Each structure stands twice: as C-alpha cells, then as structure tokens.
Amino acid sequence: MKAEKTPIELNGTKHLLFDLSSFYEFDKTYGSINKAMQALHFNDDNIPHILQLGLAHEEVVPIENLELLVDLTNRDTLKKQILQALELALPDPDKHKNKVATNTEADKGLDWDWLYYIGTVLLEMQETVFWCCTLRKLISLWAVHKRYNGLDKADEEQATASDDFIRNYM
C-alpha cells in the first residue's frame, strides 16, 4: 500500500502527505487531529503550520516562507487540499466501520504508546519507517496482521458474547 500524496501549488508544485510524524505533532500542538482541524476551520492563521507538517516529508520549509505564500486568494483552496490530504492519511472509515472513534475519543488524541508498539514490535517496522507511515497504512497493516494471525476472530467472539449478554438481559 503506497501513501497517496495531494499536489498543491505553492511557489511550484509540492505534495502534501500527513504521516505519523505529522499526526504526532498535531497531537502535541493541538491536542488531537480533530482539534487541529477545528483550529484550521476557525482560524486561517493555522494554515502555514499545518502545511509545514504536511510538507515535511519532502523538505523543511520555514514557517515564515509558508506564511508569505498563504494569502486571501488561496486560503480556501489550501484548506480543501489539506482536508483531502488528511482524508488520504486517516484510516478508511468504510474498512474500519466498527472501530470509528466517538467525538470524545477522537478529541483525546492518539494512543502513541500503542501505535508505536503495534508498528515497531508487532509489525516489525524500523523506527524511521514507522514515523514515515500514514495512519491509514498502519491501521490497514494492523487489520491484515490480526486477520492473518486469527486475532480478529477473538474480537468478533467477544463482541458477539457482549451482544448476546445484552439481548438476554434487556
């Protein structure tokens, strides 16, 4: 699975890609990905910082340079492209329907200890590969790993047992 990049025009063509390193910075700076998107929606001054995180995989662009490139004529377009790039980096909701976080859970940020353990120990990724991986790719690989090793059956059995318990006592 190859990460999809979103092309943007900023003093030439560049490509946005929000990898785990970007998401970690979102959590550190804003508290969660959801809160970062709220900050983007309500305050255009956040566009350069979020662009900087999405461009970090290609090159380090000083925030001052990005601030000069973001103006009233391109803000709405850049917001749409940022959201498109994020959609490509986040887990596919159609494939992971039963694992979609509630708004309260999503506002807490990601469980970085667990994600790091999954990536580096269970999936045996090198640290650099882990941080360059998108969240979509990591969650997809984890789902395949669970299915291949029979771990998803235990989840299904537990969910079925819980459903049966609730049905019997309601």
**Per-residue pLDDT tens over the stretch 135-156:** 999 999 999 999 999 887 755 5
Give pLDDT tens digits for 21-70: 999 999 999 999 999 999 998 988 999 999 999 999 988 888 888 888 88
CA–CA separation, 24 and 124 (whole Å): 20
Beta bridge partners of 9: 13
In the chain, the percentage of residues whose pLDDT exceeds 90 is: 56
DSSP for 44-92 reads GGGHHHHHHHHHTTT----HHHHHHH--TTTHHHHHHHHHHHHHHHS--
| Phi, psi values for residue 52, rounded to 5° | -60, -40
Say if residues 63 and 48 touch (Cβ distance below 8 Å): yes
